[in-house]
Amino acid sequence: MANEDKDGYDPSTVEEKWQRLWEERGTNTFTREDLESAEDPFYNLMMFPYPSAEGLHVGNIYAFTGADVHGRYQRLRGKTVFEPMGFDAFGIHSENFALKQGTHPMDLIPSNVKNFKRQLKRIGGMFDWDHSVDTTDPAYYKWTQWVFLQLFNAGLAERKEAPVNWCPSCMTVLANEQVIGGECERCGTPVEQRRIAQWFFRITDYAQRLLDNLDDIDWSQTTMKAQSNWIGRSTGAQLHFPVLGRDGEETGASIEVYTTRPDTVFGATYMVLSPEHPMVDQVTDDGLRAPVYAYIDKASKRDLVARQKVDKTKSGVPTGGFCRNPATGERIPIWIADYVLMDYGTGAIMAVPGHDTRDFEFAEQFDLPIVRVVAGPDDAADAPLEEAYLGPGRLVNSGDFDGTDVSESVDAVTAWAQDGGWGEAKVNFRLHDWCISRQRYWGPPIPIIHCDVCGPVAVPESDLPVVLPRVEDFKPDDSGVSPLARVASWYETTCPECGEDARRETDVSDTFLDSGWYFLRYPSTDFDDRPFDTEITKRWLPVDTYIGGNEHAVLHLLYSRFLTMVLKDLGHLDFEEPYTVFRAHGLIIADGAKMSKSKGNVIVPDPIIAEFGADSFRMYLMFLGPYEEGGDYRPQGIQGPFGFLHRLWDTVVSADDGTPDPDVERKVHQTIRQVTEQVPQLSYNTAIAAMMECLNVVRAGGRDAVRAEVEPLVVMVAPFAPHMAEELWERLGHEGGLFDGAHWPVYDEEKATELTVEIAVQVNGKLRATISVAADASEDQVITAARSEENVERHLDGKDERRVIHVPGRLVNFVVG
């Protein structure tokens, strides 16, 4: 009894021991020299967390464990694996939490980071804590500001007025995500729009390249799809509609519209301008100014998000102005309506109510003419329209184009418009320029000085970082500008170019800028005179595998791709895609629902780790479902992996030298084959199942194992349960750490080959027997054996045998009638 206790598996002792040894030996940390000279480097990256006050949640641990398993596997294959971790601690999230708590973020963040680090060490991640980043550290954001300046100097950062969501009660600018149904998420006050000058990065210049490069990177399908949808390329035409004066003559001005259906231009019976369109004044008839302005005013009160909600009823006002339809020559009225967005296309449309659902609704509501210009296969040219017709067919009521099939009509009409000088083919993107200004406190100050003489001037690189000052009152106020704008002693400065009095930019930058380049920094944190070292970057980047949540499928991943392209174009990098492989992990849910405090189904990890150990917890998380799909967390489920690790421990510590049993050895080699195939594909749940099956065979009937039967299992289990694997590896008598060599087992195809196979025997597709035959049995032998099964004979008896289908190694099917 006492002896058994001594040799029994005690997770906390083992885990404490190996975490201490890894730290003492520097198992997971690199020196600068290591990074400069690493052979076979593998950069294993995972999305860094926002260090909340609550600590790591199960979702974080799931994400990091899956990535860590991958890193450890690569290491056991002999790669030099760099696996860094850091903290994305700037941003509105932290700031709001600090406001709520009444604690300054500069005090809050360090304690959160400390707690996160403790937890991250406890779960046994292979992190290099000598190369960590904290985005709120001036030594880091110095280089975030440097990145901004690279774009500024290249003309890729520009300042322009743009609308923001403004909560008049909280007196603050809100992000779109903070506006729920047109109201402030915190106080429920209707949100308004304000126009403020902000900094934008010209990501739209890179839209086509961001789209094209998707063909060359190995990413989760869903993520690539999300990116291409977000970029939203569409092809069509830009058409010019001449504006008519009160006399009915052309004024020389024209309204530009973008359309994907230029072929329906003969059906354009009116025009619509967005309320913000710059030509509204110009086209509005004096007699209608009052209602038009009232409408525009009302529209501006509605926030940007609510505007985009589909209302049943459309609203709008006529301007009294007219255009000429360049295809038909007819005079058509110009309306204003908020269903047209200034954000997309040209902010104006030609309305074709016959063939656009929204235009149809609007025309019905305001009694505007509806003309059919496309007829479906069974429609007459003048068949009345009950709803917009969007299907295939031929053009009608379209002059010379009558009869043209819609499959060709877009190109044909575009060419005609081009010849006539009133249009041209045009590609349009949904993607907008990236607004990086935040009228907030908790972020890196944008490194710009505004000078009355010189305009916006870059802070000289030698003056970086522009340090965020400690401001006790960092709450945003009614002014709509950053709290930094209240600190004269900070923003008053002199122009670096002319020396006149000048003022610092008081906005801070978007958190996505912090996280847009962090992967470049990790390997170079030993350098404080450059953002990333050229030689080290050449050796380690781009990132080999990036793992993270699909909630960042669009913004973070798109922005970091963009910044990488820019830095390449500016000569700082020699690659333009940051992440060669990206895999999105799934979501952990509990009781069929996303974990949330309000549902009361949040799993707190610390007590589970205390009770079962990090190894069992890691293994269970990887076992509960396919990693890329997530799964349902059930508290009892951990018993499976926990019991498995115990049995593995007992088997290994009691294993003797000896010759492996051939049947067991076969199973072991089959398992090596399967696990080696599945682990790199992140099919962790099935790989673990295979190892369990293997151990069941090793232990079947309570037999004692020999070392050669279990040693491969110790190594294969190591990515999942690294502490226990190290301990067993040592007990098996190996010198040096398990992870310090290419110890992954190799299977022998011959030893993995089955000698006999089970064959299903069917009669007319129904299973009637299974037989066991030698793997190399001939077709005749198999069929003869199948036919002689008693139950098969009975079903064949007296019937015509029409066909016999033999799938080697699988089944025999007798088709009778």
225 binds RNA (CB under 7 A): yes
Element of type H or E holding 512: helix 511-514
Q: Give, as ranges, the residues between 368 and 387 that touch RNA (CB under 7 A).
A: none
| Span near RNA by CB under 7 A; candidates 289-297, 388-396, 557-565, 754-762 | 754-762
Neighbours of 464 (CB within 10 A): 19
Nearer to RNA, 140 or 295 (CB): 295
What is d(CA 712, CA 715) in angstroms, rounded to the nearest whole number?
Answer: 5
Measured CA to CA in angstroms, residue 441 lies from 41, 139, 201, 203, 512 at distances of: 39, 18, 20, 25, 15
| Span near RNA by CB under 7 A; candidates 31-39, 190-198, 451-459, 764-772 | 764-772
Element of type H or E holding 166: strand 157-167
Nearer to RNA, 460 or 765 (CB): 765
What is d(CA 786, CA 499) in angstroms, rounded to the nearest whole number?
Answer: 97
Token duo for residue 223: 């993520």
Largest CA distance in the chain: 108
What is d(CA 339, CA 359) in angstroms, rounded to the nearest whole number?
Answer: 9
Burial class (CB in 10 A: 0-12, 13-18, 19+), 219: buried
Nearer to RNA, 148 or 230 (CB): 230
Query: Nearest distance from residue 278's CB to RNA, in Å?
Result: 14
366 binds RNA (CB under 7 A): no
What is d(CA 728, CA 642) in angstroms, rounded to the nearest whole number?
Answer: 16
Nearer to RNA, 229 or 282 (CB): 229
Contact 364, 392 (CB under 8 A): no
810 binds RNA (CB under 7 A): yes
- Considering only 117, 430, 475, 734, the residue that binds RNA (CB under 7 A) is 430
Nearer to RNA, 225 or 331 (CB): 225
681 binds RNA (CB under 7 A): no
Query: Nearest distance from residue 624's CB to RNA, in Å?
Result: 4
- The 563-582 contact track toward RNA, x by CB under 7 A, reads --------------------
Q: Give, as ranges, the residues between 617 and 676 that touch RNA (CB under 7 A).
A: 623-626, 629, 631-632, 634, 636-637, 639-640, 643-644, 646-647, 650
Query: Nearest distance from residue 451's CB to RNA, in Å?
Result: 37
Sheet strands (E) in 754-800: 756-763, 766-774
What is d(CA 12, CA 610) in angstroms, rounded to the nearest whole number?
Answer: 8
Query: Nearest distance from residue 393's CB to RNA, in Å?
Result: 18
Nearer to RNA, 398 or 482 (CB): 398
What is d(CA 414, CA 421) in angstroms, rounded to the nearest whole number?
Answer: 10
Token duo for residue 405: 């099939």
- Considering only 129, 146, 293, 344, the residue that binds RNA (CB under 7 A) is 344
**Listed residue (627, 643, 709, 631) closest to 671, CA to CA:** 709
Nearer to RNA, 459 or 777 (CB): 777
What is d(CA 569, CA 154) in angstroms, rounded to the nearest whole number?
Answer: 10
Nearer to RNA, 454 or 804 (CB): 804
Q: Give, as ranges, the residues between 687 and 746 that touch RNA (CB under 7 A).
A: 688-689, 692-693, 696, 699-702
Query: Nearest distance from residue 274's CB to RNA, in Å?
Result: 6
Tally the C-alpha atoms within 13 A of residue 375's C-alpha that lie toward its C-beta.
16
536 binds RNA (CB under 7 A): no
- Considering only 38, 46, 173, 340, the residue that binds RNA (CB under 7 A) is 340
Neighbours of 644 (CB within 10 A): 21
- The 400-429 contact track toward RNA, x by CB under 7 A, reads ----------------------------x-
762 binds RNA (CB under 7 A): yes
Q: What is the residue whose two structure tokens read 């209302």?
A: 311
Neighbours of 153 (CB within 10 A): 12
Query: Nearest distance from residue 382's CB to RNA, in Å?
Result: 23
Measured CA to CA in angstroms, residue 683 lies from 60, 64, 506, 627, 727 at distances of: 19, 16, 49, 7, 25
Nearer to RNA, 480 or 640 (CB): 640
**Listed residue (351, 349, 358) closest to 388, CA to CA:** 358
- Considering only 497, 686, 708, 752, the residue that binds RNA (CB under 7 A) is 686
The residue type found at 526 is D
594 binds RNA (CB under 7 A): yes
DSSP string, 108-150: HHHHHHHHHHHHHHHTT----GGG--BTTSHHHHHHHHHHHHH
358 binds RNA (CB under 7 A): yes
DSSP 8-state code for residue 656? B
Q: Using omega within 30 degrees of 0 as the cis cutoff, is the peptide bond preceding 465 cis?
A: yes
- Considering only 61, 151, 349, 557, the residue that binds RNA (CB under 7 A) is 349
Contacts of 33 by beta carbon, 8 Å cutoff, 6+ apart = none
Sheet strands (E) in 512-578: 543-549
- The 30-69 contact track toward RNA, x by CB under 7 A, reads ----------------------------------------
- The 768-807 contact track toward RNA, x by CB under 7 A, reads x-x--------------------x---x-------x-x-x
Query: Nearest distance from residue 570's CB to RNA, in Å?
Result: 30
Query: Nearest distance from residue 696's CB to RNA, in Å?
Result: 5
368-372 long-range contacts, Cβ below 8 Å, gap at least 24? 368/269, 368/270, 368/333, 369/269, 369/270, 370/269, 371/266, 371/267, 371/269, 371/397, 372/267, 372/396, 372/397
Helices and strands in the chain: count of H runs, count of E runs:
29, 33
| Span near RNA by CB under 7 A; candidates 248-256, 341-349, 439-447, 508-516 | 341-349
- Considering only 107, 704, 758, 793, the residue that binds RNA (CB under 7 A) is 758
Site residue total, RNA (CB under 7 A): 87
6 binds RNA (CB under 7 A): no
Element of type H or E holding 814: strand 811-816
Query: Nearest distance from residue 109's CB to RNA, in Å?
Result: 26
| Span near RNA by CB under 7 A; candidates 40-48, 82-90, 744-752, 758-766 | 758-766
What is d(CA 251, CA 323) in angstroms, rounded to the nearest whole number?
Answer: 10
Token duo for residue 677: 């195939």
| Span near RNA by CB under 7 A; candidates 219-227, 436-444, 605-613, 727-735 | 219-227
Q: Give, as ranges, the residues between 102 and 141 that touch RNA (CB under 7 A).
A: none
Nearer to RNA, 126 or 705 (CB): 705
Query: Nearest distance from residue 270's CB to RNA, in Å?
Result: 13
Query: Nearest distance from residue 351's CB to RNA, in Å?
Result: 8
Query: Nearest distance from residue 460's CB to RNA, in Å?
Result: 39
- Considering only 44, 74, 132, 550, the residue that binds RNA (CB under 7 A) is 550
Query: Nearest distance from residue 708's CB to RNA, in Å?
Result: 19
Q: Give, as ranges, the residues between 232 and 261 that touch RNA (CB under 7 A).
A: 232, 234, 236, 258-261
Query: Nearest distance from residue 636's CB to RNA, in Å?
Result: 3
Query: Nearest distance from residue 811's CB to RNA, in Å?
Result: 5
561 binds RNA (CB under 7 A): no
- Considering only 3, 221, 489, 659, the residue that binds RNA (CB under 7 A) is 221
683 binds RNA (CB under 7 A): yes
Q: Is the dihedral of CA 735, 741, 742, 744 positive or negative?
A: positive
